[in-house]
Amino acid sequence: MSRPVALVTGASSGVGRACALGLAERGFDLAVAARRSDELDALARQLGDSCRVMIRCVDLHDPEETARVVPEVVDEFGRLDVLLNIAGIFDIAPLHEMSLGSLQRTLAINTIAPAILVREAWAALAAAPRGVVLNMSSLASIDPFPGAGAYGISKSAIEGLTRSVHVESLAAEAGIEAYSLAAGCIDTPMLRSVLGDIELPAGAEIPMDQFVGIAMDCIEGRRPEARGLPLFVVRDGFATLDSEEALEAIRVLWKA
């Protein structure tokens, strides 16, 4: 029997890269997607012979290019078990200064591309022994701090996509599990660019290996209570499905 296959977007950096490494350790073959081929090549070199790797350079801003990715992955491996929609962008701008271009670009990459990938992957995921969609959300879905308007909208929407996958999969008995991980602060180039000089309060940073562990728990079926719902990963050692509890923990953390 062939090994399970995961498609990971955003695999050239940060959370996507770490999840790809975590999946390889767990016996998955990988299709890794992003724009930067040099970073994807470096990841493939790091993975070595531990798994089969397909590199797919794609600009997720382009819906037609995005739609071609999944058929190519299924052609290459003959199956697709897990879709990890991790790629994302964060343009900071207060709502009254937000440009239409920034809003459209944010929604295209953070929300529309994941929905296109779900559409294209549906049949393969439904045919897999355990099909899983894991979408990357953010605490900005419930706590869109000033400047995070477009980003927060896109992350609320990806949580909506997760609910729809869950409900439609149940209705069609497709057996596809859907998860949203709404993360707080993980040390990546994106976080550093957003924070600038702002210092994180003690305990705010979620260690990458802890976050990857939660993602792998979902993918391997150890978080059935989180199916279809956003799981708020608020701080080091604390995650909850309860949005009020998450908001209270954010308030305590940031003393807001």
Ligand X SMILES: NC(=O)c1ccc[n+]([C@@H]2O[C@H](COP(=O)([O-])OP(=O)(O)OC[C@H]3O[C@@H](n4cnc5c(N)ncnc54)[C@H](OP(=O)(O)O)[C@@H]3O)[C@@H](O)[C@H]2O)c1
Backbone angles phi, psi at 48, to 5 degrees: 55, -130
By the rule CB under 6 A, 101 interacts with ligand X:
no
By the rule CB under 6 A, 31 interacts with ligand X:
no
DSSP sequence for 171-192: HHT--EEEEEEEE-B--SHHHH
Chain position carrying tokens 């350790």: 25
By the rule CB under 6 A, 26 interacts with ligand X:
no
Rounded distance between C-alpha atoms, residue 32 and residue 80, angstroms: 13
82: how many CB neighbours lie within 10 A of its CB? Answer: 25
Q: Which of 2, 27, 35, 119 binds ligand X (CB under 6 A)?
A: 35
Q: Measured from the CB of residue 173, what is the shortest distance to ligand X in angstroms?
A: 30
Chain position carrying tokens 């706590």: 143
Closer residue to ligand X in complex, CB, 101/189: 189
Angle between helix 37-47 and helix 14-25 axes, rounded to 10 deg? 30
Q: Which of 43, 136, 208, 212 binds ligand X (CB under 6 A)?
A: 136
Q: Which of 7, 84, 183, 229 binds ligand X (CB under 6 A)?
A: 183
SS3 123: helix
By the rule CB under 6 A, 60 interacts with ligand X:
yes
Near ligand X in 192-221, by CB under 6 A: none
By the rule CB under 6 A, 157 interacts with ligand X:
no
Q: Measured from the CB of residue 40, what is the shortest distance to ligand X in angstroms?
A: 7
Q: Which of 4, 14, 22, 147 binds ligand X (CB under 6 A)?
A: 14
Give the residue from 3, 102, 14, 104 showing the smallest Cα distance to 50.
Answer: 3
Closer residue to ligand X in complex, CB, 105/163: 105
By the rule CB under 6 A, 83 interacts with ligand X:
no
Q: Which of 39, 72, 91, 236 binds ligand X (CB under 6 A)?
A: 39
Closer residue to ligand X in complex, CB, 127/204: 204
DSSP 5: E
Question: Which tokens is 170 given?
Answer: 């149940």
- Per CB under 6 A, the segment of 21-29, 32-40, 218-226, 238-246 that binds ligand X is 32-40
Dihedral of CA 98/232/192/215: which sign? negative
Rounded distance between C-alpha atoms, residue 155 and residue 106, angstroms: 10
Write out the residues near ligand X by the rule CB under 6 A. Answer: 10, 12-16, 34-36, 39, 58-61, 86-90, 109, 136, 138, 183, 185-186, 188-191
